[in-house]
Amino acid sequence: MKPGPRKRNAKPQPTVQGKPERRGRGRPKLAPRRERLRGLARVLQALDRHPVTSYLSHRDFLQALYDDVKAERPSYSYYQLAEDLGFSRTNVLWLVITGRRRLTERASGRISAALQLSGNARRYFEALQKYATIRRADQRETCFQDLLELKGRELAQAADQMVLEYFSEWYHPIIREMAGIAGFQYDAEWINQHLVTRLPPLQIQRSLQLLERLNLIEFDQKKRAYVHTKKQILPDREVERLASVRFHQKMCDAARDAVTRIPARRREINSLTICVSDADAMKVGVILYKACEEIMQLEAQCKDRDQVYQVNVHLFPFTRKPEDHS
């Protein structure tokens, strides 16, 4: 029997705008080399507007690059982003960005190479990848310290470096507020007598010097003593993310210790787990200063309970009362 004539391959279907081309078993078709180079160029331009050291999450960083290119080119897809960053044309980066897949060390190196990251920027991105995958608290702390150090090197202004240093330790804001106490003394021993948690004298001295350089405390010639200047310190975009996260980390650690270290008569700590809608959760953010009873009433009145939120309110002292010195 003669074999029948071979069937010609069907012509490819036209591409639908906004969706990747597909062939074979659903694998997206590779874009032409020239188009891939154009795509990478767009991502590198986005990188100039979104430096990696401005982020505390590799997911947020990658999402920012994608959104930037997408705003300029609406047909841009996660498939194209993956291809531009050295991966096959799949949804691998979408899975990473949405938290459905971890970014491995090898994949992190591939992205660094595609984005042409080098030196401090490359080390920072690698540290972000490690920070997202490490589970042990001590190792995460070490990794975060690396991020702080690397971020500090990127800051051109000495003032920004000092602001980052200010928020990196819990005791800087505390010593600053202690300058508002009557009889405050610019002295490590006096400060330690008023702190619940004693500090090495050298740390206190360095903290006082930092506060002076930031103009948060100053010497009052009339009072012949150091006083609180009432100046507000607000980090700019360059340090805001790291500074804010570090500050709240330290305050949460202090709140945890206060549960056992501070007498109940001198603290008020409540923890509420509530189930409310996203809209009501935003309302909670506005009324946090109100009593916990009002938050509980909001939960009781909520008719659309589809989210679970954790709300923590902490009130505890960092300084001792005079009768505690004895």
Residue 222 has pLDDT above 50, yes or no: yes
Q: What token pair was written down for 213?
A: 């350089």
**HSE, side-chain direction, 13 A CA sphere, residue 313:** 16
Buried b (16+ CB within 10 A) or exposed e, 116-149: ebeebbbbbbbbbbbbbeeeeeeebeebbebbbe
Residue 97 near residue 90, CB atoms below 8 Å:
no
Q: What would the pLDDT profile of 59-73 be if each residue is shown by its tens digit? A: 999 999 999 999 999
Place of tokens 């800087």: 172
Task: Count other C-beta atoms under 10 Å from residue 61's C-beta.
Answer: 23
Q: What token pair was written down for 311?
A: 């709300």
| Direct distance between the N- and C-terminal alpha carbons of the chain, in angstroms, rounded to an integer | 109
- Give, in degrees to the nearest 5, the angle at Cα 122 between 244 and 62: 65
- How distant is the alpha carbon of residue 265 from its chain centre? 34
Q: What would the pLDDT profile of 136-178 be if each residue is shown by its tens digit? A: 878 888 888 888 888 877 776 667 778 878 888 888 988 888 8
Residue 304 identity (one-letter amino acid): D
Q: What token pair was written down for 138?
A: 């001590």
CA distance 123 to 105: 12
Q: What token pair was written down for 270?
A: 């409540």
3-state secondary structure 108-121: HHHHHHHCCCCHHH
Residue 15 has pLDDT above 50, yes or no: no
CA distance 237 to 244: 11
Q: What token pair was written down for 319?
A: 């300084």
Q: What would the pLDDT profile of 242-296 be if each residue is shown by its tens digit? A: 777 777 777 777 777 777 777 777 776 766 666 767 777 767 666 666 666 776 7
User: Where does the chain have alpha helices with state H?
Assistant: 33-49, 58-72, 78-84, 92-97, 105-114, 119-133, 137-154, 158-168, 171-178, 188-194, 201-213, 237-261, 278-286, 292-301
> In terms of pLDDT, which residue wins out, 262 or 134?
134
Residue 96 near residue 110, CB atoms below 8 Å:
no
27 - beta bridge partners? 23
pTM: 0.57
Domains of the chain: 22-154 (no CATH), 155-261 (1.10.10), 268-320 (no CATH)
